[in-house]
Amino acid sequence: MIETKPSIERRSAPPIVDAVDLELKLKPYTKYTLKNGVDVYAIDAGAEEVLSVEWVFYAGNWYEDKPLVAATTNFLLKNGTSRLNAFQINEHFDYYGSYLNRACYNETATLSLHCLTRHIGELLPVVRELITDSVLPVEELSIYQQNMKQRLKVNLKKNEFVAGRLIDVYLFGENHPYGRFSREEDFDALNRAELQAFYDKYYHNGKWVMFVAGRLPLNLESLLNTYFGDLPYHEIGEKKILTEPAAERKYRITNDEEGVQGSIRIARAFPNRHHPDFLKVQVLNSLFGGFFGSRLMSNIREDKGYTYGIHSYLQNHIHESAWMISTEAGKEVCEATIAEVYKEMHDLKEELVDDEELQLVRNYMMGSILGDLDGPFHIIARWKNIILNGLDEDYFYRSINTIKTITPEELRELARKYLMKDDFYELVVV
Amino acid sequence: MIHFDKFTLPNGLRVIVHQDTSTPMAVMNIMYDVGARDEDEERTGFAHLFEHLMFGGSINIPNYDEPLQMAGGENNAYTTNDLTNYYIQLPAENLETAFWLESDRMLSLAFSEKSLDVQRKVVCEEFKEHYIAKPYGDVWHRMRELAYSRHPYKWMTIGKELSHIENASLDDVKNFFFKFYRPANAVMVVAGNVTTERVKQLAEKWFGDLPSGEKYKRNLPQEPAQVAERKLELKANVPLDAFYKCWHIYPRLDRRYYIADLLTDILSGGGSSRLYQSLVKEQQLFSNIECYHFGSSDAGLLCIEGKLVKGTKMNVAEAAVEKELEKMKNELVNEQELQKVKNKTESMIAFEDMSVLNRANSLAYYELLGDAAWMNYELEKYASVTADDIKEESKNIFRQENSNTLYYYSGN
C-alpha cells in the first residue's frame, strides 16, 4: 500500500491571533535634566553598538521674521566655527564613521548624531562647539545660496513639487510658516548678520530638549552634563501666527505643456492632535486612503489602474493639521480620479463600514504599530512625537484603545462631519 | 556576527532561519533568482511587471493582501536588474499566515486577465511618474544603452519602452512564472521571533509538496571589454547642464569590487570627500556631485554625476573631475583617509543590521550569490584593502577607453 501524505487545506486561512488582542507596549523612557535645565529623554536598547543623539531647538520657521532665515541658519551650523572650517568639521565626523545631520521643520530645528557607541566621547565636544561658536561664514552662505537656487530651478520642473507648495498656500496662506515657500529672491535677500542674530537667540541662547537612544554608555548623563550642562538655556515666548486660508477652492494649473501626468492634491484644514476627533479620524483615514488595502487604493489603483499610488494622511504639524489626499495620475484620467475620490467620501458618509473591513483596518493598524516599534530609534521617535506635541504619556495607549474600540457608527459620523466636499481644496498641476 | 540555520527542502527550496527574540515580529523574505537581466530584449520590463502580478491572487487564495492585513502584517516587494524580492513583516504569533500565502503563490498564480489589465496600466503610470515626468528622467535609459553593448544591463528594470509592458500577454506571464518562480530558484529567509524547529515544520507543511521545477541556468551574453571611449550629448527642457560619466567595474564577488566601493567613498562619501570639497566648495563648478556604483551582481558601473553651476562650461567641469581622478591614479591615499572610509563602512553595516528586515534581506542576497555566511565576512574584505589597491584600481577603472560620458544640456 502506498502511503500518501494528507493534502493540506490551501483554500482557508490558518487561524490567527487578532492583532487587536496582542499586547502593545511602548518602552518607557528614562528622563533626566542637565544642570542648566535641559531635559534629556533616553531609551537604552538595541542589538548593535550604536546610538543616536538629537538636539531639538525651538528654532524652526515659526520663529523667523524673514523667509529662509531658520532653514539657512540650521544648514550652516556645520559650516564653520571660530576654530574649525566646514571641511575640518565634516572630516571629524566622517573619520569616526558618524553621521551629523541637521534639519529644519516648522516649529523645531534639529542637530542629530548617529555613531558607534564607542566614538561618542570624541564627537560630543565638537557638537558643543557648533552650538556655542558657529560663525556662519559668508563664503559658505554664498555657496549655499547659489546651489539652493539651482536646486529650486530643477524642483520647479516637477509637478508634484509645485503642487505640494500650492496646496499648503491654499490651506494656510503664504505668510504662514506652513504655507510659506522659498523663492529665488528670498535666497538673494539673506544676509549673514540676520542669520547670526537668529543663531544667537535660538541656538546659543535658545530653548532645546534632547533625545538619546541605542546602546547607551553608562556615563552618558555625566558626558552630556560635561558638554552641554553649562550652556545657556532660555524659555522663549509663545508666538501666535494666524492662518489665512484661500477663498477659492478649485485650481487647475499648467506647469509643463508636454506633461504626461497630473499631480492631484485634495485637502482640508484639520485640527491638531489635541482635538478629541484626531485619533478617531486616524482610523477613518486608514480606511479611506491610509494603506494599501484602503478604499482609495483598492478603487483607483487596483481596480482602475489610474495611478501607481494614492494616499491620504493627516499632516504632521504641531499647531494645526490638514487632511490631504495625494496622487500622481495619468493626464487624461485626472478628472476621473477626482470624481472617484469624492465617490469614496460619499460612500463613507452614506454606508456603515462592515465588520470584516473594520476588523481588517484595526488589525492592520495594530500590526503596523507593532512593527514600527522595531529598535531604539523607532521607540524614541514615538516618544519625541508625543513630547514635542505636548501630549500626555497616555496618548499612545489612548490611540491603541481608539483603534480597538471605534464603531462603524462613529466612523460614519466623522465622515459626515469632515468629508464634506465643499470643505476641500482641489488642485491639479499638469 | 549574524547567526542563522540553513536547510534545503527536497524540492530544492533553500531555507534560512535567523532568530532574534528582542522583537515581537517575524519576517519572511523570499528572493527569486530572476531580474530584468533575465528578460528577452523584445519583452523588457517583464520581471518588474510580474512582481505586480504576484499580488493579483494565487490559485487557492483570490486576494493576497487582505488576509495578511487581517493578520496584522505588511508586505512589499522590489525588482532589480538582478533579482526579485518579496517580504512580509507580521506579529510572530501569525507566522503561519505568511507560509500559507507565500506557498500558494509559489504553487501557482491565479493568472487573472483583469489583474494583468490593471497592472499594465499601473506600471505604465509608474514608468511615467519616475522616468518621463521627471527632469533628467531619461538619463539612465540612455546611459545604460551607451555603456552596455551586449549584457542585458543595457535596459532598466522598468523596461526599455512602454510598449513592451502594454503588449504583455497572459501566456507570457504563465511562461515566465513556470520558468522562474519555482522552489529550486528561490531562497526563503524567516527571521525574528521564530525558532528553527517551528520554521522547519511549517516549511515542510506548506512548501514541502510544491513541484521542484527546473533550476534556471543563467547564461547571459557577456559584455566585451570596452576598448574606446563613448560619448553622448543630449539636450532637453531642463534648467541646468548636467554631467554623467560611468566606468565599468567588477562583479559582486570579485575582490576588486570592495576596492571600487571604498574608492567611491573617498571621492564622494560625506562632506569631507574629495569631489565635494574640491568641485562644489573650492572651485564651485558643480552645485552637487556624487560618485557611486550600482552594486550589481554582474560587472556593474561606477558613476560620477553632477549638475553644473550656471555659467560653467562643460569641458571645464569635466577637466576638473579628471584632475581629481588623476590624483587617485598617481598618489597614494593617506592612511587616515583610508581609515575614514573603512570606519564609515563599518558603521553603515552596523546601522543597516539594526533592522530584522534588513538582516533577512541580506541573508537572502548572500545565499543567492552563493552562501549566506558571506554576510559575516564583508568587514574583513573591506579591512584588507590597501592604499596601493586603491591606486592600482583607480588606474584600471578610470581609463578613457573604459569610460562612457553623457553631456546633458539645458535646452532653455
Query: pLDDT digit string (tens) for A194-226?
Result: 999 999 999 999 999 999 999 999 999 999 999
Taking one residue from A and the other from B, the number of pairs with CB-CB distance under 8 angstroms is 220
**Euclidean distance between CA atoms B61 and B76, whole angstroms:** 18
Residue B302 pLDDT greater than 80, yes or no: yes
Q: With contacts defined as CB-CB under 8 Å, which chain B residues touch A260?
A: 128, 132-133
Contacts with A, B 372-411, CB within 8 Å: none
The ipTM of this complex is: 0.92
pLDDT over 70 (residue A6): no
Any A CB within 8 A of B224 CB: no
Task: Look at the pTM and tell me if it is higher than 0.80.
Answer: yes
Q: With an 8 Å Cβ cutoff, are A98 and B347 in contact?
A: yes
Identify the pLDDT of residue A256: 86
Shortest Cα–Cα distance, B168 to chain A (Å): 16
Contact A150 B240 (CB under 8 A): yes
State residue A47's pLDDT score. 81
- pLDDT band at residue B269, thresholds of 50, 70 and 90? confident
Q: Is the pLDDT of residue B235 over 70?
A: yes
pLDDT on residue A190:
97
Instruction: Give the β-pairing of A50-57 and A109-116.
Output: antiparallel
Does B239 sit within 8 Å of A157, measured CB to CB?
A: yes
pLDDT (average), residues B27-49: 95
B94 CB near a chain A CB, below 8 Å?
A: yes
pLDDT band at residue A24, thresholds of 50, 70 and 90? confident
Compute the Cα dihedral for A171, A176, A177, A181 and give only its sign: positive
With CB atoms and an 8 Å threshold, state whether A10 touches B104: yes
% of chain B beyond a pLDDT of 90: 91
DSSP structure string for A55-89: EEES-SGGG-SSTTHHHHHHHHTTSBBSS-BHHHH
Q: What is the pLDDT of residues A102-133, one digit of tens each?
A: 999 999 999 999 999 999 999 999 999 999 99
pLDDT of residue A5: 54
What's chain B look like in SS3? CCCCEEEECCCCCEEEEEECCCCCEEEEEEEECCCHHHCCCCCCCHHHHHHHHCCCCECCCCCCHHHHHHCCCEEEEEECCCCEEEEEEEEHHHHHHHHHHHHHHHHCECCCHHHHHHHHHHHHHHHHHHHHCCCCCCHHHHHHHHHCCCCHHHCCCCCCCHHHHHCCCHHHHHHHHHHHCCHHHEEEEEEECCCHHHHHHHHHHHHCCCCCCCCCCCCCCCCCCCCCCEEEEEEECCCCCEEEEEEECCCCCCHHHHHHHHHHHHHHCCCCCHHHHHHHHHCCCEEEEEEEECCCCCCCEEEEEEEECCCCCHHHHHHHHHHHHHHHHHCCCCHHHHHHHHHHHHHHHHHHCCCHHHHHHHHHHHHHHCCHHHHHHHHHHHHCCCHHHHHHHHHHHCCHHHEEEEEEEECC
CB A150 to CB B287 under 8 A?
Answer: yes
Q: State the Cα torsion A61-A67-A70-A71 to the nearest 10°.
A: 100
Least confident of B40-54, B141-155, B318-332, B395-409: B40-54
Residues B182-192: pLDDT tens digits? 999 999 999 99
- Whether residue B128 lies within 8 A of chain A, CB to CB, comes out as yes
Output the pLDDT for position A22.
Answer: 84
Chain A residue closest to B348 (CA)? A97
User: What local confidence, expressed as pLDDT, does residue B26 receive?
Assistant: 97
Residue A3, pLDDT score? 45
Decide if pLDDT at A1 tops 80: no
Q: Does B238 touch chain A (CB under 8 A)?
A: yes
What's the rounded mean pLDDT across residues B302-323?
98
More reliable by pLDDT, A373 or A345: A345
The rounded distance, in Å, linking the Cα atoms of A217 and A197 is 36
Q: Mutate which of B124, B340, B347 to test chain A, going by most A C-beta atoms within 10 A?
A: B347
Name the residue facing B271 among A45, A46, A90 (closest C-beta).
Answer: A90
Contacts of A359 in chain B (CB under 8 A): 70
Q: What is the pLDDT of residue B412?
A: 58
Nearest-by-CA chain A residue for B23: A374
Give pLDDT, residue A59.
97
- Average pLDDT value over all residues in chain B: 95
What pLDDT is stored for residue A260 in this prediction?
87
Q: What is the pLDDT of residues A398-426, one digit of tens each?
A: 999 999 999 999 999 999 999 999 999 99
pLDDT of residue A180: 94
